[in-house]
């Protein structure tokens, strides 16, 4: 049965469809005959008890530069829809958090994917700390003495913003690194919140695996190998996608965290694993499903829509 689907995302004309997971979800929704309306976060609003958006009918085509056709914008009541795809990219700031508060008013009567409360309560570099036994040593702090002690214990480290995304502002520091003082000052000025200091994992040179979980189950994986002059494996930072398989340790990680993802309504999640260590749990707008398919893996857009339709009790 066709569904009424609204997608909240960043401007669709700016996306690069070859690697865009939201676009893959839209292609599959269209192939199933679902009706799609599109709006950007700035057009979401709460009017009394109604959650509304100025939205445009959307059709998509897998042709770069001619990938989206929009109809005439009209005001919609999102409570009348079957599904809202919450697919805007970070930053995970107060604007993003406000979006989750608004969409929470219609969920689960209208199924929001991912659950807006689940997204709000799972900042990606904090939620992962619920599973310290799966992680490399990690400190979240802005206190100089605490960071000094952590570096003394663990040697080479990586520092990154707590609410950073896309590999921005990720720095590797040596054991006695003359840049540390300046970097500490920079982070102290740039960020009011604590930041992440994590033991450096040299095996990142061989890749950082992105594992996609759908409703708590591992469904696909891609290995992202950083460029030779970078420690960041994000594909937007020059990382190269390579075919790979799950190891026994990675399956253990997925089995450990899967039930909690499912409990929180986090239906589409991408986790990052380096050398058998969990480093991040990405819940806002995970990527990777087009790379998995391109490298011979399953079409995870199919698995995600199967899971959505199952939750709605649709055939």
Residues with a known catalytic role: 125, 160, 210, 224, 232, 272, 280, 282
- Classify each residue of 129-160 as buried b or exposed e, where b means 16 or more C-beta atoms within 10 Å of its C-beta: eeeeebbbebbeebeeeebeebbeebeebbbb
Which tokens belong to 166?
A: 């896309």
Kindly tell me the burial class for residue 162, based on how many C-beta atoms sit within 10 Å of its own C-beta (0-12, 13-18, 19 or more).
middle
Q: List Cβ neighbours of 282 (8 Å cut-off, separation of 6 or more).
A: 124, 269, 270, 271, 272
Q: List Cβ neighbours of 292 (8 Å cut-off, separation of 6 or more).
A: 212, 220, 221, 222, 298, 300
> Are the beta carbons of 216 and 296 closer than 8 angstroms?
no
Kindly tell me the burial class for residue 11, based on how many C-beta atoms sit within 10 Å of its own C-beta (0-12, 13-18, 19 or more).
exposed
- Classify each residue of 70-81 as buried b or exposed e, where b means 16 or more C-beta atoms within 10 Å of its C-beta: eeeeeebebeeb
Angle at 88 between CA 85 and CA 89, to 5 degrees: 140
């Amino acid at each position: 049965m066709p569904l009424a689907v609204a997608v909240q995302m960043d401007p669709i004309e700016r996306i690069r469809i070859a690697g865009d997971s939201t676009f893959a979800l839209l292609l599959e929704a269209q192939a199933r005959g679902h009706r799609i309306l599109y709006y950007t976060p700035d057009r979401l609003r709460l009017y009394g008890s109604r959650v509304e958006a100025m939205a445009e009918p959307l059709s998509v085509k897998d042709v770069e530069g001619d990938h989206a056709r929009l109809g005439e914008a009209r005001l919609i009541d999102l409570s009348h829809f079957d599904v809202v795809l919450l697919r805007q990219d970070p930053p995970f700031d107060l604007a993003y958090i406000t979006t989750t508060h608004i969409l929470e008013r219609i969920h689960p009567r209208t199924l929001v994917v991912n659950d807006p409360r689940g997204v709000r309560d799972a900042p990606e570099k904090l939620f992962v700390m619920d599973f310290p036994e799966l992680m490399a040593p990690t400190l979240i702090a802005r206190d100089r003495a605490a960071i000094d002690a952590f570096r003394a214990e663990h040697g080479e480290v990586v520092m990154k913003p707590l609410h950073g995304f896309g590999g921005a502002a990720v720095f590797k520091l040596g054991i006695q690194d003359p840049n540390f003082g300046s970097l500490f000052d920079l982070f102290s000025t740039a960020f009011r919140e604590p930041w992440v200091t994590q033991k450096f994992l040299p095996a990142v040179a061989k890749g950082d695996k992105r594992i996609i979980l759908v409703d708590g189950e591992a469904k696909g994986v891609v290995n992202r190998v950083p460029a030779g002059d970078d420690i960041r494996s994000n594909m937007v930072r020059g990382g190269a996608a390579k075919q790979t398989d799950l190891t026994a340790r990675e399956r253990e990680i997925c089995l450990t965290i899967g039930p909690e993802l499912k409990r929180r309504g986090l239906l589409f999640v991408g986790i990052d694993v380096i050398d058998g260590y969990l480093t991040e749990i990405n819940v806002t707008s995970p990527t990777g499903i087009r790379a998995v398919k391109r490298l011979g893996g399953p079409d995870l857009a199919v698995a995600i829509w199967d899971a959505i339709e199952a939750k709605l009790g649709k055939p």
